[in-house]
Structure 1
Amino acid sequence: MKITFLGTAGGRIVIMTQIRASGGFVLEMDNELIHIDPGPGALVRAKQYGVNLRKLTGVVVSHAHTDHYTDAEMVIESMAQGAMKKRGVLIGSEFAIKGGDSYRPAVSPYHLKFLDRYEILGPGNKTKIGKIEIEATPTKHGETKALGLVFRGSKTLGYAGDGEYFEGQEKHFEGCDYLVLNVLRPKNVEWPEHMNSNQAVKLIGKVRPSLAVIQHFGMKMLKAKPEREAKWIEKETGVKTIAARDGMTIDLGKGRPEGKGLEKWVK
Protein backbone atom coordinates (compact mmCIF):
# COMPACT_ATOMS: atom_id res chain seq x y z
CA MET A 1 0.00 0.00 0.00
CA LYS A 2 1.38 3.37 -1.04
CA ILE A 3 0.17 6.96 -0.94
CA THR A 4 1.71 9.60 -3.21
CA PHE A 5 0.92 13.25 -2.58
CA LEU A 6 0.62 15.28 -5.79
CA GLY A 7 0.09 18.37 -3.69
CA THR A 8 -0.42 19.51 -0.12
CA ALA A 9 -1.95 22.97 -0.66
CA GLY A 10 -5.04 24.20 1.13
CA GLY A 11 -6.76 27.58 1.04
CA ARG A 12 -7.07 29.97 -1.89
CA ILE A 13 -3.82 31.89 -1.39
CA VAL A 14 -1.59 28.83 -1.24
CA ILE A 15 -3.36 27.24 -4.19
CA MET A 16 -3.44 30.26 -6.48
CA THR A 17 0.24 31.03 -5.81
CA GLN A 18 1.22 27.33 -5.93
CA ILE A 19 3.50 27.75 -2.92
CA ARG A 20 2.41 24.15 -2.46
CA ALA A 21 1.04 22.01 -5.27
CA SER A 22 -2.64 21.05 -5.32
CA GLY A 23 -2.96 17.80 -7.28
CA GLY A 24 -4.55 15.63 -4.59
CA PHE A 25 -3.13 12.23 -3.67
CA VAL A 26 -2.98 8.75 -5.18
CA LEU A 27 -3.67 5.53 -3.29
CA GLU A 28 -2.12 2.29 -4.53
CA MET A 29 -3.53 -0.80 -2.81
CA ASP A 30 -4.59 -4.32 -3.78
CA ASN A 31 -3.85 -3.82 -7.49
CA GLU A 32 -5.93 -0.64 -7.66
CA LEU A 33 -4.69 2.89 -8.32
CA ILE A 34 -7.10 5.58 -7.12
CA HIS A 35 -6.66 9.35 -7.53
CA ILE A 36 -8.35 11.26 -4.72
CA ASP A 37 -9.32 14.92 -5.10
CA PRO A 38 -7.44 15.81 -8.34
CA GLY A 39 -7.22 19.56 -7.88
CA PRO A 40 -5.49 22.26 -9.96
CA GLY A 41 -2.33 20.93 -11.59
CA ALA A 42 -2.98 17.24 -10.94
CA LEU A 43 -2.03 16.32 -14.50
CA VAL A 44 1.26 18.20 -14.38
CA ARG A 45 2.17 17.02 -10.88
CA ALA A 46 1.49 13.40 -11.81
CA LYS A 47 4.00 13.75 -14.62
CA GLN A 48 6.46 15.54 -12.32
CA TYR A 49 6.25 12.92 -9.57
CA GLY A 50 6.17 9.82 -11.76
CA VAL A 51 2.53 8.74 -11.45
CA ASN A 52 1.10 7.21 -14.63
CA LEU A 53 -2.53 8.31 -14.73
CA ARG A 54 -3.29 5.85 -17.53
CA LYS A 55 -2.94 3.10 -14.93
CA LEU A 56 -5.66 4.56 -12.70
CA THR A 57 -8.64 2.38 -11.91
CA GLY A 58 -10.60 5.00 -10.00
CA VAL A 59 -11.07 8.70 -9.31
CA VAL A 60 -12.68 10.07 -6.15
CA VAL A 61 -13.93 13.65 -5.68
CA SER A 62 -14.85 14.33 -2.07
CA HIS A 63 -16.75 17.55 -2.78
CA ALA A 64 -17.48 20.32 -5.26
CA HIS A 65 -14.81 22.87 -4.32
CA THR A 66 -12.38 23.63 -7.11
CA ASP A 67 -9.24 22.72 -5.16
CA HIS A 68 -10.56 19.15 -5.05
CA TYR A 69 -11.80 18.60 -8.60
CA THR A 70 -10.32 21.04 -11.14
CA ASP A 71 -8.33 18.45 -13.11
CA ALA A 72 -10.84 15.62 -12.68
CA GLU A 73 -11.95 15.60 -16.31
CA MET A 74 -8.43 15.34 -17.71
CA VAL A 75 -7.56 12.69 -15.14
CA ILE A 76 -10.62 10.72 -16.29
CA GLU A 77 -9.52 11.09 -19.92
CA SER A 78 -6.10 9.73 -18.94
CA MET A 79 -7.66 6.81 -17.07
CA ALA A 80 -9.76 6.12 -20.19
CA GLN A 81 -6.59 5.86 -22.30
CA GLY A 82 -7.01 9.25 -23.94
CA ALA A 83 -10.79 8.85 -24.02
CA MET A 84 -10.39 5.90 -26.39
CA LYS A 85 -12.25 3.37 -24.23
CA LYS A 86 -14.68 3.12 -21.33
CA ARG A 87 -12.57 2.50 -18.27
CA GLY A 88 -12.48 3.11 -14.55
CA VAL A 89 -14.80 4.29 -11.81
CA LEU A 90 -15.70 7.78 -10.57
CA ILE A 91 -16.99 8.22 -7.02
CA GLY A 92 -18.09 11.57 -5.70
CA SER A 93 -20.39 13.64 -3.56
CA GLU A 94 -23.82 14.61 -4.85
CA PHE A 95 -22.83 18.17 -5.71
CA ALA A 96 -19.54 17.05 -7.29
CA ILE A 97 -21.31 14.81 -9.80
CA LYS A 98 -24.83 16.26 -10.14
CA GLY A 99 -24.29 19.84 -9.07
CA GLY A 100 -26.74 21.79 -6.93
CA ASP A 101 -26.87 24.58 -4.33
CA SER A 102 -25.00 26.96 -6.71
CA TYR A 103 -22.39 24.32 -7.63
CA ARG A 104 -22.11 23.03 -11.18
CA PRO A 105 -21.12 19.40 -11.76
CA ALA A 106 -17.37 18.87 -11.49
CA VAL A 107 -17.45 16.38 -14.37
CA SER A 108 -19.35 16.88 -17.62
CA PRO A 109 -21.78 14.32 -19.09
CA TYR A 110 -19.29 14.00 -21.95
CA HIS A 111 -16.63 12.73 -19.54
CA LEU A 112 -19.00 10.50 -17.59
CA LYS A 113 -19.53 8.38 -20.70
CA PHE A 114 -15.84 7.38 -20.68
CA LEU A 115 -16.29 5.56 -17.37
CA ASP A 116 -17.25 1.98 -16.66
CA ARG A 117 -19.47 3.48 -14.00
CA TYR A 118 -19.90 6.43 -11.67
CA GLU A 119 -21.54 6.58 -8.28
CA ILE A 120 -22.82 9.32 -6.01
CA LEU A 121 -22.27 8.57 -2.34
CA GLY A 122 -23.70 10.05 0.81
CA PRO A 123 -22.63 9.41 4.41
CA GLY A 124 -22.87 5.71 5.23
CA ASN A 125 -23.07 4.61 1.59
CA LYS A 126 -20.61 1.96 0.42
CA THR A 127 -19.26 0.85 -2.94
CA LYS A 128 -16.23 -0.96 -4.33
CA ILE A 129 -13.36 -0.41 -6.70
CA GLY A 130 -12.00 -3.88 -7.33
CA LYS A 131 -11.58 -5.52 -3.93
CA ILE A 132 -11.41 -2.20 -2.06
CA GLU A 133 -14.56 -1.24 -0.19
CA ILE A 134 -15.14 2.50 0.01
CA GLU A 135 -17.46 4.01 2.60
CA ALA A 136 -18.48 7.67 2.68
CA THR A 137 -18.42 9.52 6.00
CA PRO A 138 -20.06 12.81 7.02
CA THR A 139 -18.23 16.12 7.31
CA LYS A 140 -18.92 19.56 8.75
CA HIS A 141 -18.05 21.80 5.81
CA GLY A 142 -19.41 24.66 3.73
CA GLU A 143 -20.14 22.31 0.83
CA THR A 144 -22.95 20.53 2.61
CA LYS A 145 -22.68 17.28 0.65
CA ALA A 146 -18.90 17.00 1.22
CA LEU A 147 -17.60 13.58 2.18
CA GLY A 148 -14.87 11.89 4.09
CA LEU A 149 -13.95 8.39 2.98
CA VAL A 150 -12.72 5.08 4.35
CA PHE A 151 -10.88 2.69 2.01
CA ARG A 152 -10.92 -0.93 3.25
CA GLY A 153 -8.66 -3.48 1.61
CA SER A 154 -5.60 -5.32 2.86
CA LYS A 155 -5.18 -2.18 5.00
CA THR A 156 -7.69 0.48 6.00
CA LEU A 157 -7.14 4.15 5.17
CA GLY A 158 -9.31 6.93 6.50
CA TYR A 159 -9.52 10.33 4.79
CA ALA A 160 -11.56 12.88 6.70
CA GLY A 161 -11.82 15.31 3.77
CA ASP A 162 -12.42 19.00 4.34
CA GLY A 163 -14.23 20.18 7.45
CA GLU A 164 -13.89 20.91 11.13
CA TYR A 165 -13.95 18.24 13.82
CA PHE A 166 -17.40 17.37 15.17
CA GLU A 167 -18.44 15.29 18.14
CA GLY A 168 -18.57 11.62 17.24
CA GLN A 169 -16.57 11.96 14.03
CA GLU A 170 -14.10 9.38 15.30
CA LYS A 171 -16.65 6.55 15.18
CA HIS A 172 -16.64 6.74 11.38
CA PHE A 173 -12.91 5.95 11.32
CA GLU A 174 -12.79 3.15 13.88
CA GLY A 175 -10.30 0.48 12.88
CA CYS A 176 -8.38 2.64 10.42
CA ASP A 177 -4.72 1.67 10.16
CA TYR A 178 -3.84 5.05 8.68
CA LEU A 179 -5.52 8.45 8.73
CA VAL A 180 -5.07 11.40 6.34
CA LEU A 181 -6.35 14.74 7.61
CA ASN A 182 -6.75 18.08 5.85
CA VAL A 183 -5.37 20.40 8.54
CA LEU A 184 -5.67 23.91 7.16
CA ARG A 185 -4.47 25.86 10.18
CA PRO A 186 -2.05 25.46 13.10
CA LYS A 187 -2.96 25.09 16.74
CA ASN A 188 -4.96 27.91 18.33
CA VAL A 189 -5.83 29.40 14.91
CA GLU A 190 -9.37 28.58 13.86
CA TRP A 191 -11.27 28.92 10.61
CA PRO A 192 -14.92 27.84 10.36
CA GLU A 193 -15.63 24.51 8.68
CA HIS A 194 -11.93 23.58 8.45
CA MET A 195 -9.65 21.61 10.75
CA ASN A 196 -6.76 22.99 12.77
CA SER A 197 -4.10 21.15 14.77
CA ASN A 198 -6.12 21.20 17.99
CA GLN A 199 -9.02 19.48 16.26
CA ALA A 200 -6.63 17.03 14.60
CA VAL A 201 -5.43 16.05 18.09
CA LYS A 202 -9.02 15.25 19.10
CA LEU A 203 -9.68 13.06 16.07
CA ILE A 204 -6.30 11.32 15.95
CA GLY A 205 -6.28 10.76 19.70
CA LYS A 206 -9.65 9.00 19.56
CA VAL A 207 -9.10 6.97 16.38
CA ARG A 208 -5.51 6.01 17.28
CA PRO A 209 -4.28 4.85 13.87
CA SER A 210 -0.80 3.40 13.39
CA LEU A 211 0.12 6.53 11.44
CA ALA A 212 -1.52 9.92 10.87
CA VAL A 213 -0.62 12.20 7.97
CA ILE A 214 -1.57 15.87 7.83
CA GLN A 215 -1.84 17.83 4.56
CA HIS A 216 -3.89 20.56 2.79
CA PHE A 217 -2.01 23.43 4.42
CA GLY A 218 -3.09 27.07 4.36
CA MET A 219 -0.76 30.06 4.58
CA LYS A 220 -0.92 30.33 8.37
CA MET A 221 -0.03 26.65 8.68
CA LEU A 222 2.94 27.05 6.34
CA LYS A 223 4.20 29.98 8.38
CA ALA A 224 3.85 27.90 11.55
CA LYS A 225 5.75 25.01 9.84
CA PRO A 226 3.68 21.84 9.26
CA GLU A 227 6.51 19.63 10.52
CA ARG A 228 6.43 21.40 13.89
CA GLU A 229 2.67 21.02 14.05
CA ALA A 230 2.96 17.31 13.24
CA LYS A 231 5.48 16.86 16.06
CA TRP A 232 3.16 18.69 18.45
CA ILE A 233 0.20 16.52 17.40
CA GLU A 234 2.31 13.41 17.90
CA LYS A 235 3.39 14.57 21.35
CA GLU A 236 -0.21 15.28 22.36
CA THR A 237 -1.66 12.01 21.03
CA GLY A 238 1.17 9.51 21.19
CA VAL A 239 0.35 8.60 17.57
CA LYS A 240 3.09 8.76 14.93
CA THR A 241 2.24 11.83 12.83
CA ILE A 242 3.94 13.32 9.79
CA ALA A 243 3.36 16.36 7.61
CA ALA A 244 3.08 15.46 3.94
CA ARG A 245 5.27 17.16 1.35
CA ASP A 246 4.63 17.64 -2.36
CA GLY A 247 5.77 14.53 -4.19
CA MET A 248 6.10 12.45 -1.02
CA THR A 249 5.39 8.73 -1.30
CA ILE A 250 4.58 6.84 1.88
CA ASP A 251 5.04 3.09 1.52
CA LEU A 252 2.73 1.54 4.08
CA GLY A 253 3.56 -2.01 3.09
CA LYS A 254 6.67 -2.07 5.23
CA GLY A 255 5.08 -2.85 8.55
CA ARG A 256 3.92 -0.81 11.51
CA PRO A 257 5.77 2.48 12.09
CA GLU A 258 8.00 2.21 15.13
CA GLY A 259 10.64 4.36 16.79
CA LYS A 260 11.48 7.96 16.03
CA GLY A 261 12.25 7.77 12.32
CA LEU A 262 9.96 7.25 9.36
CA GLU A 263 12.72 7.03 6.77
CA LYS A 264 11.82 3.54 5.61
CA TRP A 265 8.23 4.58 4.86
CA VAL A 266 8.82 7.96 3.24
CA LYS A 267 10.46 8.78 -0.07
Structure 2
Amino acid sequence: MVATQSPSSQTWAETRGAKWRDQLDPMEAMLAPIDAPLIAALHLSDHLRIAEIGAGGGATTRAIAAAAPGSTIEGFDISPDLIGAAKARVGGVARFTLADVADFRPAERFDRLVSRFGVMFFEAPEHAFANLIQWLLPGGTLAFAVWGPGQDVAFMASVREAVAAVIDLPQPDPDAPGPCRYGDPSRLLALLEAAGFCDCAARTWRGDLQVGGGMAPDAAAEFLLASSSAAAPLADAGAREQARARERLAAVCAANLRDGIVWMPARVEIITATA
Protein backbone atom coordinates (compact mmCIF):
# COMPACT_ATOMS: atom_id res chain seq x y z
CA MET A 1 0.00 0.00 0.00
CA VAL A 2 1.23 3.51 -0.77
CA ALA A 3 1.46 5.59 2.39
CA THR A 4 -0.12 9.00 2.27
CA GLN A 5 -0.68 11.81 4.73
CA SER A 6 -3.64 13.06 2.70
CA PRO A 7 -6.02 10.21 1.84
CA SER A 8 -8.10 11.06 -1.23
CA SER A 9 -11.42 9.68 -2.43
CA GLN A 10 -9.55 7.19 -4.61
CA THR A 11 -7.42 6.09 -1.66
CA TRP A 12 -10.62 5.39 0.28
CA ALA A 13 -11.97 3.34 -2.61
CA GLU A 14 -8.81 1.27 -2.91
CA THR A 15 -7.34 0.84 0.59
CA ARG A 16 -8.60 3.08 3.38
CA GLY A 17 -12.15 1.73 3.14
CA ALA A 18 -10.92 -1.79 3.87
CA LYS A 19 -8.89 -0.54 6.87
CA TRP A 20 -11.95 1.30 8.20
CA ARG A 21 -14.11 -1.82 7.70
CA ASP A 22 -11.65 -3.88 9.72
CA GLN A 23 -12.00 -1.41 12.63
CA LEU A 24 -15.77 -0.81 12.31
CA ASP A 25 -16.98 -1.80 15.77
CA PRO A 26 -14.45 0.22 17.82
CA MET A 27 -14.47 3.11 15.32
CA GLU A 28 -18.23 3.49 15.25
CA ALA A 29 -18.46 3.18 19.02
CA MET A 30 -15.91 5.99 19.38
CA LEU A 31 -17.66 8.29 16.90
CA ALA A 32 -21.21 7.63 18.10
CA PRO A 33 -21.43 10.83 20.26
CA ILE A 34 -21.23 12.97 17.12
CA ASP A 35 -24.45 11.49 15.71
CA ALA A 36 -26.71 13.41 18.11
CA PRO A 37 -25.59 16.97 17.24
CA LEU A 38 -25.34 16.07 13.56
CA ILE A 39 -28.87 14.66 13.41
CA ALA A 40 -30.26 17.55 15.45
CA ALA A 41 -28.89 19.94 12.81
CA LEU A 42 -30.95 18.15 10.12
CA HIS A 43 -34.29 19.07 11.75
CA LEU A 44 -35.77 15.74 10.72
CA SER A 45 -39.43 14.86 10.45
CA ASP A 46 -41.35 11.83 9.20
CA HIS A 47 -41.37 10.65 5.60
CA LEU A 48 -38.35 12.48 4.17
CA ARG A 49 -35.97 11.42 1.43
CA ILE A 50 -32.49 11.46 2.98
CA ALA A 51 -29.10 10.89 1.35
CA GLU A 52 -26.04 10.05 3.44
CA ILE A 53 -22.60 10.76 1.98
CA GLY A 54 -19.80 8.47 3.12
CA ALA A 55 -22.15 6.10 4.93
CA GLY A 56 -19.31 3.87 6.11
CA GLY A 57 -20.53 0.89 8.10
CA GLY A 58 -24.03 2.30 8.52
CA ALA A 59 -24.04 3.30 12.19
CA THR A 60 -25.12 6.88 11.49
CA THR A 61 -27.64 5.55 8.96
CA ARG A 62 -29.27 3.55 11.73
CA ALA A 63 -29.42 6.59 14.00
CA ILE A 64 -31.00 8.69 11.23
CA ALA A 65 -33.61 6.02 10.58
CA ALA A 66 -34.56 6.00 14.26
CA ALA A 67 -34.92 9.81 14.24
CA ALA A 68 -37.03 9.99 11.05
CA PRO A 69 -39.61 7.17 11.04
CA GLY A 70 -41.02 6.32 7.65
CA SER A 71 -38.30 8.16 5.77
CA THR A 72 -36.46 6.77 2.76
CA ILE A 73 -32.72 6.70 3.36
CA GLU A 74 -30.00 5.97 0.84
CA GLY A 75 -26.38 5.71 1.92
CA PHE A 76 -23.56 6.32 -0.55
CA ASP A 77 -19.90 5.37 -0.26
CA ILE A 78 -16.95 5.09 -2.63
CA SER A 79 -15.58 2.00 -0.85
CA PRO A 80 -17.00 -1.38 -1.93
CA ASP A 81 -15.74 -2.85 1.35
CA LEU A 82 -17.80 -0.38 3.39
CA ILE A 83 -20.89 -0.70 1.19
CA GLY A 84 -20.76 -4.45 1.73
CA ALA A 85 -20.39 -3.99 5.48
CA ALA A 86 -23.26 -1.50 5.67
CA LYS A 87 -25.59 -3.80 3.75
CA ALA A 88 -24.73 -6.68 6.06
CA ARG A 89 -25.03 -4.65 9.27
CA VAL A 90 -28.02 -2.35 8.72
CA GLY A 91 -29.36 -3.12 5.26
CA GLY A 92 -32.90 -3.37 6.56
CA VAL A 93 -33.21 0.35 7.30
CA ALA A 94 -31.72 1.86 4.16
CA ARG A 95 -30.52 1.29 0.64
CA PHE A 96 -26.76 1.50 0.05
CA THR A 97 -25.18 2.51 -3.25
CA LEU A 98 -21.55 2.32 -4.37
CA ALA A 99 -20.77 5.66 -5.99
CA ASP A 100 -18.29 8.52 -6.24
CA VAL A 101 -20.68 11.27 -5.13
CA ALA A 102 -18.48 13.97 -6.68
CA ASP A 103 -19.86 12.92 -10.08
CA PHE A 104 -22.85 10.69 -9.39
CA ARG A 105 -26.35 12.10 -9.95
CA PRO A 106 -29.27 10.22 -8.30
CA ALA A 107 -32.50 9.59 -10.19
CA GLU A 108 -34.53 11.58 -7.64
CA ARG A 109 -33.67 14.52 -5.43
CA PHE A 110 -33.60 14.46 -1.64
CA ASP A 111 -35.00 16.56 1.21
CA ARG A 112 -31.88 16.18 3.34
CA LEU A 113 -28.19 15.57 2.72
CA VAL A 114 -26.02 14.39 5.61
CA SER A 115 -22.46 13.27 6.14
CA ARG A 116 -20.40 12.35 9.17
CA PHE A 117 -16.75 12.84 8.17
CA GLY A 118 -17.32 12.02 4.51
CA VAL A 119 -16.76 15.29 2.63
CA MET A 120 -13.11 16.11 3.41
CA PHE A 121 -11.52 13.86 0.80
CA PHE A 122 -12.71 15.21 -2.56
CA GLU A 123 -9.87 15.81 -5.02
CA ALA A 124 -11.89 18.67 -6.60
CA PRO A 125 -14.21 19.98 -3.87
CA GLU A 126 -15.59 22.85 -6.00
CA HIS A 127 -16.81 20.32 -8.55
CA ALA A 128 -18.12 17.93 -5.88
CA PHE A 129 -20.21 20.50 -4.02
CA ALA A 130 -21.56 21.94 -7.28
CA ASN A 131 -22.77 18.42 -8.04
CA LEU A 132 -24.17 17.77 -4.57
CA ILE A 133 -26.42 20.84 -4.62
CA GLN A 134 -28.21 19.12 -7.49
CA TRP A 135 -29.06 16.26 -5.14
CA LEU A 136 -31.33 18.45 -3.02
CA LEU A 137 -34.84 19.67 -3.70
CA PRO A 138 -35.25 23.46 -3.55
CA GLY A 139 -35.31 24.35 0.13
CA GLY A 140 -33.66 21.08 1.07
CA THR A 141 -30.97 21.22 3.75
CA LEU A 142 -27.67 19.59 4.55
CA ALA A 143 -25.69 18.88 7.70
CA PHE A 144 -22.05 17.80 7.53
CA ALA A 145 -19.77 16.88 10.43
CA VAL A 146 -16.09 17.63 9.81
CA TRP A 147 -13.14 17.46 12.17
CA GLY A 148 -11.82 20.66 13.72
CA PRO A 149 -8.12 21.62 13.60
CA GLY A 150 -5.77 18.70 14.11
CA GLN A 151 -4.43 20.06 17.39
CA ASP A 152 -8.01 20.10 18.73
CA VAL A 153 -8.60 16.42 17.90
CA ALA A 154 -6.44 14.78 20.53
CA PHE A 155 -6.35 11.22 19.22
CA MET A 156 -5.17 12.42 15.79
CA ALA A 157 -2.59 14.78 17.27
CA SER A 158 -1.31 12.05 19.59
CA VAL A 159 -0.74 9.58 16.76
CA ARG A 160 1.07 12.16 14.69
CA GLU A 161 3.30 13.22 17.59
CA ALA A 162 4.18 9.62 18.47
CA VAL A 163 5.07 8.74 14.90
CA ALA A 164 6.95 12.01 14.24
CA ALA A 165 9.10 11.35 17.32
CA VAL A 166 10.63 8.25 15.73
CA ILE A 167 10.58 8.86 11.95
CA ASP A 168 10.50 11.87 9.66
CA LEU A 169 6.88 12.73 8.95
CA PRO A 170 5.98 15.29 6.29
CA GLN A 171 3.69 18.14 7.23
CA PRO A 172 0.18 17.61 5.85
CA ASP A 173 -0.87 19.89 3.01
CA PRO A 174 -3.82 21.94 4.37
CA ASP A 175 -5.31 22.19 0.87
CA ALA A 176 -5.12 18.46 0.15
CA PRO A 177 -7.76 15.85 0.97
CA GLY A 178 -7.49 14.87 4.62
CA PRO A 179 -9.48 14.52 7.84
CA CYS A 180 -8.78 18.05 9.16
CA ARG A 181 -8.98 19.82 5.80
CA TYR A 182 -11.87 21.98 7.04
CA GLY A 183 -10.61 22.50 10.57
CA ASP A 184 -11.14 26.15 9.70
CA PRO A 185 -14.82 25.84 8.72
CA SER A 186 -14.79 29.11 6.79
CA ARG A 187 -13.05 27.26 3.95
CA LEU A 188 -15.93 24.80 3.63
CA LEU A 189 -18.57 27.50 4.02
CA ALA A 190 -16.97 29.43 1.14
CA LEU A 191 -17.02 26.33 -1.06
CA LEU A 192 -20.69 25.72 -0.31
CA GLU A 193 -21.61 29.33 -1.02
CA ALA A 194 -19.71 29.20 -4.31
CA ALA A 195 -21.68 26.07 -5.24
CA GLY A 196 -24.95 27.95 -4.72
CA PHE A 197 -25.95 26.99 -1.19
CA CYS A 198 -27.38 29.64 1.12
CA ASP A 199 -27.75 30.05 4.90
CA CYS A 200 -24.33 28.42 5.30
CA ALA A 201 -23.28 28.20 8.94
CA ALA A 202 -20.94 26.33 11.28
CA ARG A 203 -21.38 25.36 14.92
CA THR A 204 -18.59 23.91 17.05
CA TRP A 205 -19.12 20.74 19.06
CA ARG A 206 -16.58 19.71 21.68
CA GLY A 207 -16.60 16.54 23.71
CA ASP A 208 -14.57 13.60 24.97
CA LEU A 209 -14.47 10.43 22.88
CA GLN A 210 -13.79 6.93 24.18
CA VAL A 211 -10.85 5.76 22.08
CA GLY A 212 -11.93 2.57 20.34
CA GLY A 213 -15.26 2.75 22.13
CA GLY A 214 -13.70 2.03 25.52
CA MET A 215 -10.19 0.58 25.46
CA ALA A 216 -7.30 0.28 27.89
CA PRO A 217 -4.06 2.13 26.94
CA ASP A 218 -2.18 -0.62 25.10
CA ALA A 219 -5.24 -1.64 23.08
CA ALA A 220 -6.08 2.01 22.39
CA ALA A 221 -2.57 2.63 21.03
CA GLU A 222 -2.80 -0.40 18.74
CA PHE A 223 -6.22 0.72 17.50
CA LEU A 224 -5.07 4.26 16.75
CA LEU A 225 -1.97 3.13 14.90
CA ALA A 226 -4.00 0.63 12.85
CA SER A 227 -6.64 3.17 11.85
CA SER A 228 -4.67 6.39 11.30
CA SER A 229 -3.24 7.45 7.94
CA ALA A 230 -0.55 9.36 9.85
CA ALA A 231 0.82 6.04 11.07
CA ALA A 232 1.06 4.53 7.58
CA PRO A 233 4.77 5.44 7.09
CA LEU A 234 5.58 3.20 10.07
CA ALA A 235 4.91 0.21 7.83
CA ASP A 236 8.14 1.03 6.00
CA ALA A 237 10.13 1.63 9.19
CA GLY A 238 11.88 -0.99 11.26
CA ALA A 239 10.42 -2.99 14.11
CA ARG A 240 12.33 -0.83 16.60
CA GLU A 241 10.71 2.38 15.33
CA GLN A 242 7.29 0.78 15.34
CA ALA A 243 7.73 -0.35 18.93
CA ARG A 244 8.95 3.07 20.05
CA ALA A 245 5.97 4.82 18.45
CA ARG A 246 3.61 2.31 20.04
CA GLU A 247 5.18 2.84 23.46
CA ARG A 248 4.95 6.62 23.16
CA LEU A 249 1.32 6.47 22.12
CA ALA A 250 0.43 3.99 24.86
CA ALA A 251 1.95 6.40 27.41
CA VAL A 252 -0.24 9.23 26.09
CA CYS A 253 -3.26 6.95 26.24
CA ALA A 254 -2.41 6.02 29.84
CA ALA A 255 -2.29 9.72 30.74
CA ASN A 256 -5.86 10.03 29.43
CA LEU A 257 -7.22 7.07 31.38
CA ARG A 258 -10.46 7.39 33.35
CA ASP A 259 -12.10 4.40 35.03
CA GLY A 260 -10.05 2.00 32.92
CA ILE A 261 -11.00 3.68 29.60
CA VAL A 262 -8.98 6.06 27.42
CA TRP A 263 -10.83 9.33 26.76
CA MET A 264 -9.57 12.09 24.48
CA PRO A 265 -11.11 15.48 23.69
CA ALA A 266 -12.18 16.35 20.16
CA ARG A 267 -13.54 19.32 18.26
CA VAL A 268 -16.06 18.84 15.45
CA GLU A 269 -17.64 21.45 13.21
CA ILE A 270 -21.31 20.91 12.30
CA ILE A 271 -21.93 22.59 8.95
CA THR A 272 -25.44 23.46 7.75
CA ALA A 273 -26.73 24.97 4.50
CA THR A 274 -29.83 25.18 2.32
CA ALA A 275 -30.28 24.55 -1.41
Higher Rg of the two aligned structures: 2
Query: Of the two structures, which has the highest relative contact order with CA contacts closer than 8 Å and spacing of 6 or more?
Result: 2
Same fold (TM over 0.5): no
Q: Which has the higher helix share?
A: 2
